[in-house]
Amino acid sequence: MNAALEAEIQQKYTTETITEMRRWTDKLISFRLTRPEAFRFSAGQFARLGLPLEGGGQVWRAYSMCSAEYDEFLDFYSIVVPDGQFSSRLAMLQPGDQVMLDKRAMGFFQVDRLPGGQDLWLLATGTGIAPYLSILQQPEVWGRFERIVLAHCVREAAELSFQQEIAALRSHPLWQEHGHKLQYLPVVTRAAPAGMLNQRIPALLESGELAARAGLTMAPEHSRFMLCGNPKMVEDTHRQLMKMGYRMTRQNAPGHIVLENGW
């Protein structure tokens, strides 16, 4: 083996190239990276991405994959925090620029940690929608549940990214016979367009408005929940669901909820 190849194998990361970048708002971007053949992940997991710092050193952050397990590229969706060490640098990059990718995907935010049920509720704030975009490209998820509800809660309507991509999921040829199962429920908490849900997710759960809007009833026997986004939202939603009789899935103790803090 030559020295360069040996060094590459020993390194914990690979260097990937940005091939596409989309700016949804001044605070939200999505980008596509080249994918090394050896990079494996399960839908719902995250990667660690790194950028060099000007004075030397690197900054690394966790990012959930939005793309499918079987795609030849890796897609991500990112907040831009104006003085954030990673995202303010990321926002200045463009196609052709490079990002470091830790070789190992991480995390346990996976649908298969939930026991069988009829309805899958995917609840997100902000960039917490990212892992669901990957999960919803797994054909087995569509077969496993009778109904899937994706609720995306943001401050302003302009932050409801991926609406066309979500609509297209309903007619994807890989799970065409199940496409009708998906309901997308946008939630806007500040200046919501008329008719749109406009309360935070825990309040919508407590009032029954989320279930009513989906035309479903929630019950521990048949409802399963995934929570991702603002850590305070995850905490408040978890607490509200516990009040309603649901509990978190733990190792060797299947429950109704799996969760991931978005930072």
Positions touching ligand NAP (CB under 6 A) are 27, 79, 125-126, 153-156, 189-190, 200-202, 230, 232-233, 236
Instruction: Provide the minimum distance between the beta carbon of 161 and ligand FAD in the complex, in angstroms, as a whole number.
Output: 11
Contact 134, 44 (CB under 8 A): yes
Residue 262 phi/psi, 5-degree rounding, is -75, -10
Which of 87, 137, 138, 249 is the binder for ligand FAD (CB under 6 A)? 87
Nearer CB in complex with ligand NAP: 100/153:
153
Question: Choosing among ligand FAD, ligand NAP, none, which partner's interface includes residue 39 (Cβ < 5 to 8 Å by kind)?
Answer: none
Question: Choosing among ligand FAD, ligand NAP, none, which partner's interface includes residue 142 (Cβ < 5 to 8 Å by kind)?
Answer: none
Which residues partner with 23 through β-bridges? 29
- Give the separation between CA 207 and CA 97, rounded to whole angstroms: 47
Nearer CB in complex with ligand NAP: 74/153:
153
Question: Choosing among ligand FAD, ligand NAP, none, which partner's interface includes residue 240 (Cβ < 5 to 8 Å by kind)?
Answer: none
Which of 19, 36, 81, 220 is the binder for ligand FAD (CB under 6 A)? 81
DSSP 109: -
Nearer CB in complex with ligand NAP: 112/156:
156
Instruction: Provide the minimum distance between the beta carbon of 156 and ligand FAD in the complex, in angstroms, as a whole number.
Output: 13
- Give residues 202-261 in contact with ligand FAD (rule: CB under 6 A): 260-261
Nearer CB in complex with ligand FAD: 98/261:
261
- 191 in the Ramachandran plot: left (φ > 0), alpha (ψ -120 to 50) or beta? left
Question: Choosing among ligand NAP, ligand FAD, none, which partner's interface includes residue 153 (Cβ < 5 to 8 Å by kind)?
Answer: ligand NAP
Alpha helices (H) along the chain: 3-10, 87-90, 130-135, 139-144, 163-169, 201-207, 209-214, 231-243
- Give residues 88-147 in contact with ligand FAD (rule: CB under 6 A): 88, 107, 126-127, 130
DSSP 50: E
Counting other chains too, the contacts that 10-14 makes at CB distance below 8 Å and 24 or more residues apart are 12/102, 12/103, 12/104, 13/48, 13/50, 13/100, 13/101, 13/102, 13/103, 14/39, 14/100, 14/101, 14/103
Nearest to 105 by CA among 52, 44, 51: 44
Question: Choosing among ligand FAD, ligand NAP, none, which partner's interface includes residue 155 (Cβ < 5 to 8 Å by kind)?
Answer: ligand NAP
The DSSP bridge pattern shows strands 223-229 and 257-261 to be parallel
Q: What is the CA radius of gyration of the chain?
A: 19
Site mask for ligand FAD (CB under 6 A), range 32-71, x = bound = --------------x--------------xxxx-------
- Give the separation between CA 235 and CA 229, rounded to whole angstroms: 10
Question: Choosing among ligand FAD, ligand NAP, none, which partner's interface includes residue 198 (Cβ < 5 to 8 Å by kind)?
Answer: none
Residues contributing to the site for ligand FAD (CB under 6 A):
46, 61-64, 76-79, 81, 84-88, 107, 126-127, 130, 260-263
